[in-house]
Amino acid sequence: MKKILLLLFICFSATAYSQQGRKMKILNADITYQDKENPDVTISVGNVFVEVDGATIRCKRAEIYSKDNYLKARGNVVMNQGDTIIQTSKFSDYDGNTKLAKSWGDVVLKDPTMTLTTQTLHFDREKQFLYYKTKGEIKDSVNVLKSNQGNYYLETNQFQALSKVVITNPDQVIETNHLDYYTDSGKAYLYKPSTITGDKSFIYTEKGFYDTKNKVSHLTKNSWIKYDDRRIEGDSIYYDENRSFSSATGNIVVTDTVNNGILKGNYGEFYRAKDSVYITGRAVAISLIEKDSLYIHGDTILLTGKPDARIIRAYNHVKFFKSDMSGKCDSLYSSQVAGFTKMFRKPILWSQENQITGDVIHFLHNKETEQLDSLKVLGNSFMVQKDSIGFNQTKGRDIFGKFEDNDMKIVDVVGNGEVLHYVRNEEQELIGIMKMRCSSLNMTIENKQIQTIEFRVEPDGKTYPEKELHVNERTLKGLVWRINEKPENKDDIYTHDPGDDKLMAEERIKERENRLQEAKEAEKKTIRDLAAVALQKEQDSIAVKSVDLLKNKEDEDTNTPSSKNKSTIDIKKGE
Give the model confidence (pLDDT) of 341-369 as tens digits. 999 999 999 987 889 999 999 988 877 76
Residues belonging to the chain: 575
Does residue 565 carry a pLDDT above 60?
A: no
131-140, 198-207, 431-440, 521-530: segment of lowest average pLDDT: 521-530
Share of the chain above pLDDT 70, in %: 90
User: What are all long-range contacts of 446-454, with beta carbons under 8 Å and residues at least 24 apart?
Assistant: 446/409, 448/352, 448/353, 448/385, 448/407, 449/424, 450/392, 450/421, 453/419, 453/421
Interval 268-293 mean pLDDT: 88
Share of the chain above pLDDT 90, in %: 54
Compute the distance between CA of residue 175 and CA of residue 198 in angstroms, rounded to an integer. 12
Average per-residue pLDDT for the chain: 86
> What is the predicted pLDDT for the residue at 16?
37
DSSP 152: E
Spell out the residues 6+ positions from residue 264 whose beta carbon is closer than 8 angstroms to its own: 252, 253, 254, 279, 282, 283, 284, 286
Mean pLDDT within 73-96: 93
| pLDDT single digits (tens) 300-338 | 999 998 877 889 999 999 999 988 889 999 999 998 778
Sign of dihedral through CA atoms 352, 493, 476, 371?
positive
* Contacts (Cβ under 8 Å, ≥6 apart) of 553: none
- pLDDT 10s digits, 5-53: 333 333 333 333 333 434 789 999 999 999 888 889 999 999 999 998 8
Over the stretch 461-520, which tens digit does the pLDDT of each residue have?
899 999 999 989 999 999 999 999 999 999 999 999 888 888 778 878 887 888 888 888
Range 361-370, long-range pairs (CB < 8 A, 24+ positions) = 361/327, 361/329, 364/338, 364/339, 364/340, 365/339, 365/340, 365/341, 366/339, 367/336, 367/337, 367/338, 367/339, 368/289, 369/289, 370/287, 370/289, 370/292, 370/294, 370/322, 370/325
What is the reported pLDDT for 234? 94
Fold of 23-132: lipopolysaccharide transport protein A fold (2.60.450)
- State the pLDDT at residue 512: 84
Give the Cα-Cα-Cα angle 568, 571, 572 (nearest 5 degrees): 85
pLDDT of residue 445: 86
- The 8 Å CB, 24+ separation contacts for 192-197 are 196/172, 197/172, 197/173
542 vs 56 pLDDT, higher one = 56
Show the DSSP H helices in 294-335 as ranges. none
- Res. 563 pLDDT band, cuts 50 70 90: very low
State mean pLDDT over 290-306: 89
Residue 541 has pLDDT above 80, yes or no: no
Reported as a single tens digit per residue, the pLDDT across 126-152 is 999 999 998 999 998 889 999 999 999
Distance CA 263, CA 254 (A): 5
Instruction: Look at residue 343 in the predicted model and tell me its pLDDT.
Output: 94
Q: Of 145, 103, 149, 106, nearest to 125 (Cα)?
A: 103
What pLDDT, in 10s, does the model give residues 548-558?
666 666 666 65
- pLDDT at 567 (0 to 100): 33
- The whole-number average pLDDT for the span 272-290 is 89
Q: What pLDDT score was predicted for residue 484?
A: 92
In the prediction, which pLDDT does 187 show?
A: 92
